[in-house]
Amino acid sequence: QQQVKQSPQSLIVQKGGISIINCAYENTAFDYFPWYQQFPGKGPALLIAIRPDVSEKKEGRFTISFNKSAKQFSLHIMDSQPGDSATYFCAADRLGSARQLTFGSGTQLTVLP
Amino acid sequence: DTAVSQTPKYLVTQMGNDKSIKCEQNLGHDTMYWYKQDSKKFLKIMFSYNNKELIINETVPNRFSPKSPDKAHLNLHINSLELGDSAVYFCASSQDYTSGNEQFFGPGTRLTVL
């Protein structure tokens, strides 16, 4: 049972364009939603995270939009750059208990120069 | 300075063998984790330890046994390796296991079982 569904599986964007990756979750107990970025041969690294008390969080070119009623959240990468080419994972977790990050299936982003 | 390190980076072995992967973190964190990333890049938690005590043990075969000699180290021993064990294994650490602190991942160990 996949508790966090991520789409698309792959995404190709032109340099300067907007990359959008979507995730949906099922467990309403989730209250922490991070996004991780993984380059080939490396471990995932935290990019940005949001808690459900806000609907949007922005850090530089990266923005998370969160819709609690729809149980969906998305990552927007503005002015996408070739250096953003990586695999992006959304995840969900429950704070205040033994942490158990549940990851989405990943999105392979390619930004063309 | 490497925050979370793993050895070896690559591990190629025959079916039925026993192997270990070592992990060390120099961040002073209390909690460490093992994740498995399969060929489709799906990441799934296997274990988590807090101050050397097992916190989470997902439905992982008994052939996998984590060991934490101290809170800076979490090793993974795998007995009787099977073809399906081929994957990339990531170690991670976080400040503690209950708050929303960042998890820091190691570079991964690519295990190939022939």
**B contact test, residue of A35, A88, A99, A108 with most B CBs within 10 A:** A99
Give mean pLDDT, residues A45-72.
Answer: 94
Of the listed ranges A22-26, A33-37, B95-99, the one predicted with least confidence? B95-99
Contact A5, A23 (CB under 8 A): yes
Contact A38, A87 (CB under 8 A): yes
A65 pLDDT higher than 70: yes
Task: Identify the band that residue A100 occupies on the pLDDT scale cut at 50, 70 and 90.
Answer: confident
Look at A100 and B45 and tell me if their CB atoms are within 8 Å: yes
DSSP string, A30-51: --BEEEEEE-TTS--EEEEEE-
Which of A11, A21, A18 shows the shortest CA–CA distance to A89? A21
Give mean pLDDT, residues B76-103.
Answer: 91
The arrangement of strands across the sheet holding A4-7 comes to: A4-7, A19-25, A72-77, A62-67, A56-59
Using a CB-CB cut-off of 8 Å, the residues of chain B touching A106 are: 40-43
Q: Is A100 on the interface with B (CB under 8 A)?
A: yes
Q: What is residue B58's predicted lDDT score, i.e. its pLDDT? A: 78
Task: Identify the band that residue A35 occupies on the pLDDT scale cut at 50, 70 and 90.
Answer: very high
Residue B101 carries which DSSP code?
Answer: P
Block residue for tokens 């991520």: A6
Q: Is B31 on the interface with A (CB under 8 A)?
A: yes
Dist. CA B21–CA B94, nearest whole Å: 19
Task: Identify the band that residue A97 occupies on the pLDDT scale cut at 50, 70 and 90.
Answer: low
Q: What is residue A67's predicted lDDT score, i.e. its pLDDT? A: 94
Pair of tokens at residue B10? 């690559």
Contact B99, A32 (CB under 8 A): no
B50 pLDDT higher than 70: yes
Q: What is residue A29's predicted lDDT score, i.e. its pLDDT? A: 87
Q: What is residue B101's predicted lDDT score, i.e. its pLDDT? A: 76
Average pLDDT, chain A: 93
Q: What is residue B51's predicted lDDT score, i.e. its pLDDT? A: 86
